[in-house]
Amino acid sequence: MKEFSFLMGNCPGALVEIAAELKKEHVNIEGIAGLTVLDEGVISMVTDNDGSARKILKDLNVDFEEREALEMDLPHHPGELSTLLGRLKEDHVNVLSIYAGVEKSKLIFTVDQVDKAKQIFRLE
């Protein structure tokens, strides 16, 4: 799974063109996060089709960064996020992004040491 992160103008409808193209190509958004920093919108998202999402962003001339994203089911109990982050901290793995997926209890995150994080959480 790949995370695509990009900047865009902070104005009404700024994300609609990308969302419409994803819809047109039958690409589903599995997780998305966005916020405004100064006057720029910062978006990070994962989809169910990395190749199509990459092509759409390129065709729309969107400059983006791409990273491997990890996805986990996070039990819905107090302290679960703290436990997960503590395990990464113990092994000196830095979290680059983190957000909820569209499915209940799905956590999506990127880190600076993907292989180490996969080993810690026995992913893949």
Domain that holds residue 115: 1-124
How far apart, in whole angstroms, are the C-alpha atoms of residue 24 and residue 39? Answer: 29
Q: How high is the pLDDT of residue 11? A: 86
Paired with 64 in beta bridges are 6
This prediction has a pTM of: 0.91
pLDDT tens digits in sequence order for the chain, 124 residues long: 999 999 998 888 889 999 999 999 999 999 999 999 988 999 999 999 999 999 999 999 999 999 999 999 999 899 999 999 999 999 999 999 999 998 888 999 999 999 999 999 998 7
> Contact at 8 Å (CB) between 88 and 111?
yes
2 beta partners = 68
19, amino acid identity: A
* Residue 57 near residue 35, CB atoms below 8 Å: no
Q: What is the CATH number of the domain that holds 121?
A: 3.30.2130.10
Query: What is the count of structural domains for the chain?
Result: 1
DSSP state of 103: S
43-66 burial, b at 16+ Cβ within 10 Å, e below that, comes to bbbbbebbeebeebbeeeeeebee
